[in-house]
Amino acid sequence: MRRTRLSLLMVLVAVPALAQTDGTYLLVSSNTVSPTTPTTTIEIWATWTDPRVEYIFGAGDFDLTAGGGVFSNPVNVLNGSGSTTGVIAGNVISGAVNAQLHIPPVGIIGSRDNPILLATYDWTTTDFTPRTVSLDTSNTTLFIVHTWDTSFPNANSFQLFPGSFTPGSGVINVIPAPAAWLVLALPLVAATRRRRS
Q: What tens digit of pLDDT does each residue of 33-84 get?
A: 999 999 999 999 999 998 777 899 999 999 999 999 999 999 999 999 999 9
**For residues 132 and 112, is the Cβ–Cβ distance under 8 A?**
no
115 upstream amide cis, omega within 30 of 0: yes
**Does the pTM of the predicted model rise above 0.75?**
yes
Q: Poorest-confidence range of 143-147, 151-155, 189-193?
A: 189-193
Domain at 192, CATH number: 2.60.40.680
DSSP 8-state class, residue 103: B
Q: Quick check: is 179 in a domain?
A: yes
H-helix or E-strand spanning residue 173: strand 169-174
Beta bridge partners, 99, equal 59
25 torsion bin: left (phi>0), alpha (psi -120 to 50), beta (else): beta
* Residue 155 pLDDT grade (very low, low, confident, very high; cuts 50, 70, 90): low
**For residues 128 and 174, is the Cβ–Cβ distance under 8 A?**
yes
Domain of 37, in residue numbers: 17-196
Confidence (pLDDT) at 68: 95
Q: Mean pLDDT of all residues in the chain? A: 82
Confidence (pLDDT) at 47: 95
Write down the H helix ranges in the chain. Answer: 2-14, 178-196
Q: Quick check: is 180 in a domain?
A: yes
Q: Quick check: is 129 in a domain?
A: yes
Q: Quick check: is 10 in a domain?
A: no
Q: How far apart are CA 157 and CA 52, in angstroms?
A: 15
Q: How far apart are CA 159 and CA 124, in angstroms?
A: 33
Number of structural domains (the chain) is 1
Confidence (pLDDT) at 31: 97
